[in-house]
Amino acid sequence: MTAEQGTPLVRTAILGCGLMAKLHLRQMVKQLDTTQIAVVCEPDPDAYAEFADLFREHGLTPPPNEPDLARLLANHALDTVIIATPHVFHHDQTKACLEAGLDVLLEKPMVMNEAEARSLIDIYATALESCWWLLFPAAFLPRSERPPV
């Protein structure tokens, strides 16, 4: 809970420790009064070590790394997850997280094909407690490619 408000922190996992996860982290460290980065899921020890260094640069203790998603979901109390992994993994990871009752922020592209997209839509339709967002960060596009406002 935050000291000032007595409000519980949103317990978040980050799947993947690459570029997009680092961009999310830069914003999330500004919101630690509302958000706890509880755990990350990164199978590459070198990528996790580099990600952990970003926490230390901000004077923070890095969260633990659980490289196995099934163990992460079984052993950590979470509210939400950011999926910032290679898109070939998006379907199975999103499915597991929605079925675990987590809110999901999914980096684009959503999945690899229409069948996977329909599968996630069907799963989401039955995951009444969960929210699911597909993130398309237009702020990272060159000016000439930004969609009209």
pLDDT digits (tens, 9 = 90+) for 22-50: 999 988 999 999 999 999 999 999 999 99
Nearest to 85 by CA among 114, 57, 51: 51
Q: Is residue 110 in some structural domain?
A: yes
Spatial CB neighbours of 72, under 8 Å, sequence gap ≥ 6: 13, 39, 41, 66
- pLDDT of amino acid 129: 65
Most confidently modeled of 1-10, 82-91, 99-108, 139-148?
Answer: 82-91
- The predicted model scores a pTM of 0.84
Residue range 60-83, pLDDT digits in tens: 999 999 999 999 999 999 999 999
Q: Is residue 6 in some structural domain?
A: no
pLDDT band, very low/low/confident/very high, at 143 (cuts 50, 70, 90): very low
Provide the residue type at 16 as one letter: G
Give residue 56's domain range. 18-60
Q: How many domains does the chain have?
A: 2
E strand or H helix that includes residue 52: helix 45-57
Cα separation of 122 and 35, whole Å?
29
Q: Is residue 49 in some structural domain?
A: yes
Q: Is residue 111 in some structural domain?
A: yes
Q: Is residue 48 in some structural domain?
A: yes
Q: What average pLDDT does the segment 106-114 reach?
A: 89
Q: Is residue 33 in some structural domain?
A: yes
Q: Is residue 114 in some structural domain?
A: yes
Token code pair at residue 115 = 């069948």
Question: Helix, strand or coil for residue 129?
Answer: coil
